[in-house]
A = this chain, B = another copy of it.
Amino acid sequence: MEMELWYTEKQTLDHGITTKIRRTLHHEKTEFQTLDVIETVQFGNMLVLDGMVMTTDVDEFVYHEMITHVAMNTHPNPEHVLVVGGGDGGAIREILKYPSVKTATLAEIDGKVIEASKTYFPKIAGALDDPRVKIEVVDGIKHVEENKGKYDVILVDSTEPVGPAVGLFQKPFYQSIFEALKEDGIMVAQTESPWFNRDLIRRVFKDISSLFPITRLYTASIPTYPSGLWSFTIGSKKYDPMEVDETRFHQVDTRYYHPRMHKALFQLPVFVQELITVERK
C-alpha cells in the first residue's frame, strides 16, 4: 500500500473540500502570502495562496472565461484592458482573444505568483509573453489611482477578501476604478460564493451600484471554489450587458461562455437575485 496524500481546504469554518495529491511541486512564503503548487489527481496542477485554491488545470477555464467575456462582449470596442490581480495570466489570455485589444495590463502585487504560474501553469500563463501585455508588479489600488480615464475594461481578479486583497473589496477602490475607466468603461469583480458570502455580495453590489449607473451580477460553476458556485459583479458606465446587441458579439473560442448564454446568465436563482434586489424608496 502506498501512502495517500490529500489536500484539505476549509472553505468556511465548517466545510471544505479534500482532494488527492501526487506531490507538492512548489512551496514558498512570498512577501505577501504563502504560495503552494500541488499536483492533484482530479484537477491537475493546483495553485494555492494562503491555503485557498486559486486555480487548477482542469477547471481554470470557467473562471477565466467568465470574469472576462461578459464585459468584453458588452463593450463594443475594448482597446485598453486592465486586470488587477490575476497573476496567473488566465484573464489576460482570454482578453487577448479580442482583435480590438491594443494593450492588456496586468497589475499584480506579487511577482512570485507570475513566476510560479509561468513555471507550473504554462497553458494559463503562456499569453503573458504576448507583445500587447504590460506586466506591472504593483499594488492594484495604486495603479488604478494613477491611471485616470485610461481603460475601457477593468477586471478585478483578486484573491479572497483577506490578507493582501482586503482593499480590493472596498468602496474607495471601486471609486478609483470608476475614475480609471473611460466615460463608457465597464468593470467586473469576482465576488465570491452566493452560498457562503452573502453579506459580501450584498455590500459590494450596493457599493458598485452607488457609483455606476448599471450594476449586474452573474454566476458560474467552479468545482474547486467554495460551494461550486461563484459570482461576478459588473459595474458599467454606459453599456448594459442585458441590453447589448448580440449580433455584434465577437465569436471567441471558449469551453464555458458562449454568446447565446450571455443574457441568460442574468436569470439568477431566486435566492441569489434576492441578495442584490435593492429596496426602492
Contacts and interface: CB of A to CB of B under 8 A. Distances in A.
Interface of A: 8, 12-20, 40-43, 59, 61-62, 195, 219-223, 227-229, 254-258, 260-261, 263-265, 267-271, 273
Given A14-B20, A15-B43, A223-B227, A255 B271 contact: yes
A241 to B, nearest CB: 14
A62 B255 CA distance: 25
Interface of A is mostly: mixed
Given A258-B270, A260-B267, A270-B256, A15 B14 contact: no
Contacts of A8: 18
Given A15-B42, A256-B271, 17 more contacts: A8-B18, A14-B41, A15-B17, A15-B20, A16-B18, A17-B17, A195-B223, A221-B228, A223-B227, A223-B228, A228-B229, A258-B267, A258-B270, A258-B273, A260-B267, A263-B264, A264-B267
Contacts of A229: 221, 223, 228
Nearest to A229: B221
A217 B199 CA distance: 32
Contacts of A14: 19-20, 40-42
Contacts of A254: 270
A149 to B, nearest CB: 35
Contacts of A20: 13-15
Given A16-B18, A223-B195, A267 B271 contact: no
25 contacts: A8-B18, A13-B41, A14-B40, A14-B41, A14-B42, A15-B18, A15-B41, A15-B42, A16-B19, A18-B18, A61-B271, A220-B269, A221-B221, A221-B227, A221-B229, A221-B269, A254-B270, A255-B269, A255-B271, A257-B270, A258-B267, A258-B269, A260-B267, A261-B268, A264-B264
